[in-house]
Amino acid sequence: MIAALRRAGAGVLWYLREVSGEADYDRYLARHAREHPDAPPITRREFEKRRMDRAQEHPQSRCC
């Protein structure tokens, strides 16, 4: 019962982190480590800044 609740909670947290884009940096780190193991990754601050710059250039429309 407790284990099931804990699993459900972890699932909800995973979903919210994914949907909100909070997990994007983790994914970037994993990818970076795989593809460019020698170069240091950019900081979270820099990563988020670039993400916003991209959003600036590709606004997503919201429907009605």
Partner 1 sequence: MSTETPEAPDSPPSSPTPDRGSRFTVRSALVWGAVAVVGAVAWGVIALSRGESISAIWLVVAALGSYAIAYRFYARFIAKKVLEVDDTRATPAERLDNGTDFQPMDRRVLFGHHFAAIAGAGPLVGPVLAAQMGYLPGTIWIIVGVIFAGAVQDMVVLFFSMRRDGRSLGQMARDEIGPVGGVAALIGVFTIMIILLAVLALVVVNALAKSPWGTFSIAMTIPIAIFMGFYLRMIRPGRVMETSLIGVALLLLAIVAGGWVQESSWAPAFTLSPQALVIALVIYGFAASVLPVWMLLAPRDYLSTFMKVGTIVLLALGVILSAPMMKTPALTEFASSGKGPVFAGALFPFVFITIACGALSGFHALIASGTTPKLIQKESQVRMVGYGAMLTESFVAVMALIAASVLDPGLYFAMNAPAGVLGPTVETASAAVANFGFTITPEALTAAAAAVQESTLVARTGGAPTLAVGMSEIFAGVFGGAALKAFWYHFAIMFEALFILTTVDAGTRVGRYMLQDTLGNVHKPFRDVNWKPGLWITSAVVVGAWGYFLWAGVNDPLGGINQLFPLFGIANQLLAAIALTVCTTLLIKTGRARYAWVTAVPLAWDVAVTLTASWQKVFSSDPTLGFFAQRARYSAALERGEVLAPAKDIDQMGTVVVNSTVDGVLSIVFALLVIIVVVNAMFVWYRALTSDEPLGSSEAPAVESRIVAPAGLIATPAEKRAMAAAGSRE
Q: Does 29 bind partner 1 (CB under 8 A)?
A: no
- Residues 42-61 binding partner 1 (CB under 8 A) are 44-45, 47-49, 52, 54-61
Q: Does 64 bind partner 1 (CB under 8 A)?
A: yes
Q: What's the rounded Cα separation, in Å, for the pair 63 and 4?
A: 37
Q: What is the dihedral of CA 27, 53, 22, 33, to 10 degrees?
A: 20
Q: What's the rounded Cα separation, in Å, for the pair 53 and 48?
A: 9
Residues in the site for partner 1, rule: CB under 8 A? 15-22, 24-25, 27-28, 31, 44-45, 47-49, 52, 54-64
